[in-house]
Structure 1
Amino acid sequence: MVANVTQVRKIDSILIVDDSPLQRAHAAELCHQNGIDLIYQANNGVEALELLAMLKIAPSIIMVDLEMPGMDGVELIQNLQERNFQIPLLIASSREDSLITSVSTMIAALGQTLLGSLKKPLNPNQLTPILNNIDTHLSRPKQTHPEDIDKLTHDDLIHAIANGHIVPYFQPKVDVRTGMIKGVEALARWLHPERGMVGPDLFIPLAEESDHIIRLLTLSIAEQTIAQCAAWNNRNLHLTYAINLSPMLLNSGDFFHEITKLPELNGIQNQQITWEVTESSVVNNLATALGTLARLRLKGFGLSIDDYGTGFSSMQQLARIPFTELKIDRSFVNGACQQHNLAIILQSAIEMANRLGMSAVAEGVETLEDWRLLQRFGCDVGQGYFIARPMPAKDLFSWLKSHNQRLSELKYQDISR
């Protein structure tokens, strides 16, 4: 059965699924304290599914206990996905962090929204920050389905590049200690005249099916970004600019010459540009790829290892490539303040970057609690929805004006004194 229940964006209701009446009552009281008036309760997964099938309007959130007789929390979550209940989830459990992390990863793989993980016994300090940041989760663009790629063609993509429909959006990167802006990452966005915004998860894989198209796309984004850098330099806004570099292009000597001449043509210094490459970028054609990266570094460009921690070759790559920046994947940042295992991995990555003389950049920062954790761990730069979403160039100065009013909140607070 496929549910036709519509999701409500406002936090006006919650379904608590827990086999303990005492735990359910305690959770309900905490929800009342946070302004949620309509509270549904279910004793187990079966009851929860029966209730959802009867409701005309789905609850805003479902809080799920993992350990329940009969249908446990994991099976319930899987059933929710199978029946197309796309309702944001909260995990509440007293089990070990590694188990909770596994379930969190499963939820992400199912394409569902996880608001957070709560350790039992629950307390207001856990629940309130999550509810206060729910808009961040609900306003994030939904994951697109791979089959939608078939609706776009190589010719569509070439036409879009040629006509300037694919443009860089800029996501700020800020100093973790002060909150001051340090740079931006250029992220390709396709402004389709009929489809609207086409996500990069659709058109980047399409572009990478062709050496020619990914070259055209990367050159276009690089040209637009470096031209924007020159324009902002003229307005006394001097930032660093991170541009993603496809691994497919590391073997092209001609492409190397094309990208390295762009800063000089626009009157900017190479040091303002950082090329981001993923961990797996130099696995194939190792000698040529390493040569290209070394030559980029010789010319003064920064090199960033992107999505650090998601590939098998991380340590080896750090040892043999002259990276200047280590970009820690969001999966180790988001929610790290609540998950001990994630916090340990995050701290280790930051300490390793510091010892190697690299800048540690954390992406996917979405809450003040994770921001404070990065400060305590000595991270250099943060990036994520807590700071700003990617935006068109025209919006950056208005964002800066409002962001500067937050600096007192973002500044590092040494609580040890």
Structure 2
Amino acid sequence: MADKLLHQIDSVLIVDDSPIQRSFAAELCQELGIELIYQANNGVEALALLDLLKMKPTIMMIDLEMPAMDGIELIQQLQELNYQIPLVIASSREESLISSVTSMTAALGQTLLGGLKKPLHLNQLVQILNRLEQPNHARPKDKLSPLVEQLTEQDLLLAISNREVVPYFQPKVDINTGMLKGVEALARWIHPELGIIPPDFFIPMAEQSDQIIRLLTLAIAEQSIAQCAIWNERSLQISCAINLSPRLLSSLSFFQEIAKLPPLHHVPNQQIIWEVTESSVVNNLGAALGTLARLRLKGFGLSIDDYGTGFSSMQQLARIPFTELKIDQSFVNGAHERNNLAIILQSAIEMANRLGMSTVAEGIETLEDWRLLQRFGCNIGQGYFIGRPMPAKDLFNWLKTHNQRLAEIKK
């Protein structure tokens, strides 16, 4: 067998109302070396079995159409009962329905390995189950420690002042050649006692205050641009993308503050890309459009971030001089096995190419999705398949390792 599991899976619970389908799925699991296989006819039986088992199954494989309790209700009940068991959805229904249920599962915070259309194939099942090894797939989120939850806006202000909030850099590489083209700067709070504070905790806190988000954005921008100057001196001239909060777009004084940073560090404006989420210019439209137009006039790049997640994408593209379209990871991850995602992804890339914009796909986690993006003509890729966000000092070490795998990912 060419494909194999990356690590041992102890047990599986197969929930399917068809004895033939259950038996076939069980045979595939046995072939993969999974010894303990539980079976249930529907959601009600599955929940009753879970209640009895002291050791819960490592994974659950769930059909959608079942009597008594269908797969959708079962997944909802698993969330209600706080079962955090990695799920595989397997159904003979249309891909759009399977895709909808996988999106629901992820939105509920359940651990989702993926969705498969029946009949099941061994190689596809292996690829799905091996996602247990991949770091970006949904696992139960660690609860924040009480000490972290007690941190306040004043603590964040002090951290920014003390330079405890620093940029980490995630590589962006050419899809065809794999060569490093740029980085995205991502804010990280390195607390001297509590370690790394999750950005999901402190970014929303910063967004509540104009003062804090202004200081945070300026701090990350200044440190990132200063780092670009260091890389330039070492003959590594790459672009740097910096996230721009929508709360700051209407401020003339803020525009003046960020516009003076690159000349201060002798970094060309063209090397800096400001990333703006597609819904962020709705408020204060006139002022926001003015700020973005002036940034472009100064030679900065403008990227529309998380493309596809809002409702005004086309309108934004028509009225803002974006140079880069960044496709949200929800349209990238798993696109090689979900036809509806692949169609949306390809159309976005083709549209951007026609508009003369560079395309960036974020959230790339597998070689299969990478190959799909190559076929579709995407320009730049970003994601854990390429590299995680890292401190600036680690970029050259990453580059050495990355260069060794270029043969694998080049066209």
* TM-score for the superposition, normalised by structure 2: 0.94
Structure 2: how far apart are the matches of 1:358 and 1:336? Answer: 22
**Deviations 1:333-359 (CA, angstroms, capped at 9, x unpaired):** 111111111111111100000000001
SS of residue paired to 1:24: helix
1:156-305 matches, cutoff 5 A: 156-305=155-304
In the alignment, is the contact (CA less than 8 A) between 1:133 and 1:367 conserved in 2? no
1:331-370 matches, cutoff 5 A: 331-370=330-369
What is the aligned counterpart of 1:69 among 63, 67, 70? 67
Residue type of the alignment partner of 2:82: N
Aligned twin of 2:37: 39
Q: CA RMSD in A?
A: 1.9
The alpha-carbon deviation at position 310 of structure 1 amounts to 0.8
Aligned twin of 1:400: 399
Structure 1: how far apart are the matches of 2:140 and 2:130? Answer: 20
The alpha-carbon deviation at position 17 of structure 1 amounts to 1.1
Structure 2: how far apart are the matches of 1:12 and 1:228? Answer: 47
Structure 1: how far apart are the matches of 2:295 and 2:163? Answer: 27
Structure 2: how far apart are the matches of 1:82 and 1:360? Answer: 39
The alpha-carbon deviation at position 192 of structure 1 amounts to 2.1
**Deviations 1:391-415 (CA, angstroms, capped at 9, x unpaired):** 1112212211111121111112xxx
The alpha-carbon deviation at position 40 of structure 1 amounts to 2.0
In the alignment, is the contact (CA less than 8 A) between 1:10 and 1:60 conserved in 2? no
In the alignment, is the contact (CA less than 8 A) between 2:106 and 2:112 conserved in 1? yes
Residue type of the alignment partner of 1:194: E
Is the alpha carbon distance of 1:61 and 1:138 closer, same or farther for their aligned partners in structure 2, counting shifts above 3 Å? farther
Aligned twin of 1:117: 115
Aligned twin of 1:3: none
In the alignment, is the contact (CA less than 8 A) between 1:144 and 1:202 conserved in 2? no
In the alignment, is the contact (CA less than 8 A) between 2:111 and 2:137 conserved in 1? no
SS of residue paired to 2:85: coil
Structure 2: how far apart are the matches of 1:217 and 1:280? Answer: 21
* TM-score for the superposition, normalised by structure 1: 0.92
Residue type of the alignment partner of 1:362: A
Aligned twin of 1:409: 408
Comparing 403-412 with 271-280, which one deviates more in the overlay?
A: 403-412
The alpha-carbon deviation at position 132 of structure 1 amounts to 2.8
What is the aligned counterpart of 1:126 among 101, 121, 124? 124
Aligned twin of 1:307: 306
SS of residue paired to 1:189: strand
In the alignment, is the contact (CA less than 8 A) between 2:87 and 2:114 conserved in 1? yes
In the alignment, is the contact (CA less than 8 A) between 1:336 and 1:342 conserved in 2? yes
Is the alpha carbon distance of 1:160 and 1:123 closer, same or farther for their aligned partners in structure 2, counting shifts above 3 Å? same
Residue type of the alignment partner of 2:164: H
Structure 1: how far apart are the matches of 2:69 and 2:193? Answer: 45
The alpha-carbon deviation at position 142 of structure 1 amounts to 5.0
Is the alpha carbon distance of 1:25 and 1:172 closer, same or farther for their aligned partners in structure 2, counting shifts above 3 Å? same
| Percent identity of equivalent pairs | 73
SS of residue paired to 1:387: coil
Residue type of the alignment partner of 1:313: S
Structure 2: how far apart are the matches of 1:139 and 1:130? Answer: 11
Aligned twin of 1:5: none
Structure 2 segments unaligned to the other structure (5+ residues) = 1-6
